[in-house]
Structure 1
Amino acid sequence: MGSVELLRVLGNKYNAEILSATNEPKSAQELSDELDIPIATSYRRIEELTEADLLELSGREFSDEGRRTKVYRRDIDSLQVTFETDDIDVTIEDRPEAENSLVDVWRDLKNE
């Protein structure tokens, strides 16, 4: 995805807030409740961020009602936008795999 398209995704209402809130895995319902976003919008924004490779499906966890729900976590650590005279450059720093694996192990231990 090009730099301009990434900026468009980030500019959509709620997307930056969702990325900020998903340092830890969260479901669409948790994001809806925490950020006061309509649930349908939460699902649309999650899909948009996932397609842009900014958010990833982290796994499935049991909800308070006992249903398995998908949980999502941001797939980036940082994003930098640079405006040049004739160009826009977006640099993304992905989350290290070791950190992702450690978070997965910790979450699995916590849920046992």
Structure 2
Amino acid sequence: MSSGRTQYESDSDTVLSALGNKYSAEILCAAGTPKSAQALSEDIEIPIATCYRRIEELVDAGLLTCEGRELSEKGRRTNIYRRTVDELEVDFSEAEPEFSRKRRTEAKNQLQDQLEE
């Protein structure tokens, strides 16, 4: 049964909810280059369980993406995450919030990766 909400309203709620949580902005800032949840947890100095919860919320909101998997130092397969946006603007002047996103391009991701090497 539908709640009567549009996809846009649901997306707005999901994005605002994800951004409103503690550490979400820090995770997005740290995820400019591909990083595992463990690396993000260590960089930001937050508990790994909290980091995983925030990552899931940010992925659901479309602000973070899983770029693939790699082997950890302990030989386990781990997901690698990177933010999908560089800027996000929220306009509250209407009845529903409106978002303007500056998405990261693949070219920018590749350049960032080269600079990190």
Report what 2:91 is aligned to: 82
How far has the Cα of 1:21 moved from its partner?
A: 0.5
Residues 47 and 4 of structure 1: CA distance in aligned 2, closer, same or farther (over 3 Å) = closer
After superposition, the CA RMSD in angstroms is: 2.2
Report what 1:30 is aligned to: 39
1:61 pairs with 66, 70, 87, which one?
Answer: 70
Report what 2:30 is aligned to: 21
Residues 45 and 76 of structure 1: CA distance in aligned 2, closer, same or farther (over 3 Å) = same
Q: Distance in 2 between the 1:31 and 1:105 partners?
A: 16
Gaps of 5+ in 2: 1-9
Which portions of structure 1, spanning 4 or more consecutive aligned residues, are displaced by more than 3 angstroms? Answer: 103-107
How far has the Cα of 1:3 moved from its partner?
A: 2.6
Give the alignment's TM-score, normalised by structure 1.
0.81
Aligned residues: 107
Gaps of 5+ in 1: none
Report the 3-state secondary structure (helix = DSSP H, G, I; strand = E; otherwise coil) of the residue aligned with 1:16: helix
Q: How big is each residue's C-alpha offset from its partner over 1:34-69, in whole Å with a ceiling of 9 and x where there is no partner?
A: 111111111111111111111000111222222221
